[in-house]
């Protein structure tokens, strides 16, 4: 089953053609960073205008590189939310027009589902339900119990900034470019993660919520002190990153302690590309003898392939679920694909 995935929820104009939710036949990512970086963050109006300018070519590119025509697709999967409304609207309107013009079915995909199912792209591994997903991006940070393709429950989430947002804001304090996550990750490689002990958010036992804005604020106050002004920036970056990773792994550990029946865990979202978080996540999984799934870095940050992957799983689940069956007075004679 070959699906076109379209993702425009934020500032990436991304398209991809994916076979069976796994094999990426093409992946086109048109990054808008150059348009937003001078503002130090994403400007929603600029993002939607850029999507409008870039999306048609990105769709054509994805089809051409995959060697398929629109009519040969088995479906189009598009991010329906959550995200910036103007940005989402461009993707949804375009996908509807393409589906209408070609007669190909359209699937509305939740952006967060997309991040989670990115972990099963380009691998023979299949999701084993239920699994636990640690989803960390620029807009979200949450622990999710994934009981099936369609049954996802948020167990805990950030009470303030998302982890990626904390990376971006702290990078700005350190004079690093936007997006800050990759910049901090790179700088931290030369730093000592134990140089400064920024306080970790530690709620009552059993609580799975998280908080990251305190860590960022602590870095800000520290940089204003005499010691902060003299501090090695790589040490500050590494210590900040270590604090974020500690909070995330602590909440993962708490979730697992509450229900130690999970046999696999997924790390997803843009921050899943972080090298320190990946190492800590793998080490945690090895200690608990659970399988760790982490998407390749290209599929951690927003992309079209993850939307096609989630669309595929959703479609398979709906086909298999008798509750999705509806009477169709115009049922075609041949419905086999």
Contacts with ligand KG4 by CB under 6 A lie at: 10, 137-139, 164, 167-168, 179-182, 185, 269-271, 273-274, 301-302
CB of 172 to ligand KG4, least distance (A): 11
Q: Assess contact for 129 and 148: CB atoms under 8 A.
A: yes
CB of 271 to ligand KG4, least distance (A): 4
Binding partner at 63 among Zn ion, ligand KG4, none, C-beta below 5 to 8 Å by kind: none
The residue to which tokens 């409304």 are assigned: 85
Closest Cα to residue 274, out of 157, 199, 175, 163? 163
CB of 257 to ligand KG4, least distance (A): 26
Q: Assess contact for 111 and 83: CB atoms under 8 A.
A: yes
Cβ distance to ligand KG4 smaller for residue 99 or 274? 274
Tell whether residue 302 is a contact of Zn ion (CB under 5 A): yes
Cβ distance to ligand KG4 smaller for residue 99 or 304? 304
Cβ distance to Zn ion smaller for residue 11 or 302? 302
| CA dist., res. 225 & res. 214, Å (int) | 17
The residue to which tokens 């099963």 are assigned: 120
CB of 72 to ligand KG4, least distance (A): 29
CB of 221 to Zn ion, least distance (A): 30
Cβ distance to ligand KG4 smaller for residue 8 or 217? 8
| CA dist., res. 47 & res. 35, Å (int) | 8
For residue 307 the two structure tokens come to 């939307």
Q: Assess contact for 95 and 6: CB atoms under 8 A.
A: yes
CB of 82 to ligand KG4, least distance (A): 9
User: In which element (H, E) is residue 117 found?
Assistant: helix 111-117
Cβ distance to ligand KG4 smaller for residue 116 or 146? 116
| CA dist., res. 272 & res. 115, Å (int) | 10
- Could you give the count of Cα atoms lying within 13 Å of 126 in the half-sphere of its Cβ? 7
**Binding to Zn ion, residues 105-164 (CB under 5 A):** 137
Cβ distance to Zn ion smaller for residue 149 or 302? 302
| CA dist., res. 169 & res. 219, Å (int) | 10
Cβ distance to ligand KG4 smaller for residue 185 or 235? 185
CB of 131 to ligand KG4, least distance (A): 19
Binding partner at 214 among ligand KG4, Zn ion, none, C-beta below 5 to 8 Å by kind: none
135-173 exposure pattern, b = at least 16 Cβ within 10 A, e = fewer: bbbbbbbbbbbbeebeebeebbbbebbbbbbbbbbbbbb
- Applying CB under 5 A, the span of 150-158, 178-186, 196-204, 301-309 interacting with Zn ion comes to 301-309
Binding partner at 304 among ligand KG4, Zn ion, none, C-beta below 5 to 8 Å by kind: none
């Amino acid at each position: 089953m070959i699906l076109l995935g379209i993702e425009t929820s934020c500032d990436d104009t991304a398209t991809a053609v994916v076979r069976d939710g796994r094999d990426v036949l093409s992946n086109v990512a048109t990054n808008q960073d150059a348009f937003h970086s001078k503002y130090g963050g994403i400007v929603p109006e600029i993002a939607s205008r850029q999507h409008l300018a870039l999306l048609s070519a990105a769709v054509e590119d994805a089809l051409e590189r995959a060697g398929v025509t629109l009519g040969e697709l088995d479906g189009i999967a598009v991010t329906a939310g959550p995200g910036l409304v103007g940005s989402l609207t461009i993707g949804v309107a375009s996908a509807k027009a393409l589906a209408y013009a070609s007669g190909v079915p359209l699937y509305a995909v939740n952006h967060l589902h997309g991040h989670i199912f990115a972990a099963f792209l380009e691998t023979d591994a299949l999701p084993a339900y239920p699994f636990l997903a640690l989803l960390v991006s620029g807009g979200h940070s949450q622990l999710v119990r994934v009981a099936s393709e369609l049954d996802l429950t948020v167990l805990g989430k950030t009470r303030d900034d998302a982890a990626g947002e904390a990376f971006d804001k702290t990078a700005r304090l350190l004079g690093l470019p936007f997006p800050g996550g990759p910049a901090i990750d790179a700088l931290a490689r030369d730093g000592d993660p134990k140089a400064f002990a920024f306080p970790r958010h530690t709620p009552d036992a059993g609580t799975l919520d998280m908080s990251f804005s305190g860590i960022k604020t602590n870095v800000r106050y520290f940089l204003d002190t005499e010691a902060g002004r003299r501090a090695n920036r790589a040490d500050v970056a590494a210590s900040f990153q270590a604090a974020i990773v500690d909070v995330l792994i602590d909440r993962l550990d708490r979730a697992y302690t509450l229900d130690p029946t999970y046999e696999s865990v997924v790390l997803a979202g843009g921050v899943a590309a972080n090298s320190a978080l990946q190492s800590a996540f793998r080490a945690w999984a090895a200690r608990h003898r659970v399988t760790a799934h982490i998407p390749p870095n290209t599929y951690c940050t927003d992309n079209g392939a993850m939307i096609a992957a989630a669309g595929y799983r959703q479609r398979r689940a709906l086909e298999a679920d008798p509750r999705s069956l509806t009477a169709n007075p115009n049922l075609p004679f041949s419905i086999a694909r």
